[in-house]
Amino acid sequence: MSSTPSRILAIDTATWNCGVALVRDGVVLAERAERTTSNHAGTLPRLVAETLAAAGERLERADVIAVTIGPGSFTGLRIALGFAKGLVFAGGYRLVGVPTLDALALVAPAVPGRVCTVLDARKREVYAALYERDATGLARLGEPRAAGAERLAEAIGGSCTFIGDAVEAYGDVFQRVLGAGATLLASATHPPRAAMVARLAAARLARTNAGDDVDTLAPMYLRPPEAELLQSAHSPSRAPIALDFVDKVPIVY
């Protein structure tokens, strides 16, 4: 097993929240976040510079760039991944892609039970992943998916904590279907954190030190762009949801 890297610069622009963190051996040296009303192309470079300045650090070749790869905003994911790859090509750093919903799950309070991360996917859908916390840690139940909010809540069928920006859009749906079993954590009080992206990247690099291939790492969109959806009669919300409670994927941290 390899040791974790000394420093990780983590980037997250999968939602309207643009976040950057610099972490060394699990300690957050500096973290900046800003909610934007447009794409992150102008905000991200500034936040990276501000984060490094606040930490009083400069990146070195041994450092790692961690970036969320989706699901999330199509434009936001492309901006973050393009920026991260540019840094890697220029500085020779390692690159680690982190699933957006896994990092968001770590923002939720560490209490027993199930957590569902939900991002507003528009078109009356959410990007979602279901997790379960027990004495061994947090595990994802199956794979992330795009689905209608009501169908998702019906598939969950029991007590669950929802976290993510879809809480604002569909929290009433979750409560209508699940009643008192739905606990809602709004993004205003529990926003995505780049520090959690770094946390997952460090856990992965503790198992394998290689990182991702800079040429092949790509965003995980979960559904085609809108233009493709308009040309197709099939919609993700029409497909049945099968939440797998057997195939647990550990979220190591």
Rounded to whole angstroms, the Cα distance separating 95 from 85 reads: 8
In CATH terms, are 7-101+191-221 and 109-189+233-251 the same topology? yes
Range with top average pLDDT, 136-140, 167-171, 221-225, 249-253: 167-171
What mean pLDDT comes out for the span 46-67? 97
Rounded to whole angstroms, the Cα distance separating 131 from 42 reads: 34
Rounded to whole angstroms, the Cα distance separating 50 from 31 reads: 9
Q: For residue 3, what pLDDT is reported?
A: 53
220, 67 in Cβ contact below 8 A? no
The average confidence (pLDDT) of the chain is 88
140, 129 in Cβ contact below 8 A? yes
pTM score, whole prediction: 0.90
Topology (CATH level 3) of domain 109-189+233-251: Nucleotidyltransferase; domain 5 (3.30.420)
To 5 degrees, how large is the angle CA 123–CA 124–CA 128?
Answer: 105
State the DSSP string of 150-206: HHHHHHH-S-EEEESTHHHHHHHHHHHHHGGGEEEE-TTTS---HHHHHHHHHHHHH
**Domain spans of the chain, in order of start:** 7-101+191-221, 109-189+233-251
Q: Which of 30-44, 185-199, 220-234 has the lowest mean pLDDT?
A: 220-234
**Is the predicted pLDDT of residue 79 greater than 80, yes or no?**
yes
The architecture CATH gives domain 7-101+191-221: 2-Layer Sandwich (3.30)
Rounded to whole angstroms, the Cα distance separating 181 from 47 reads: 38
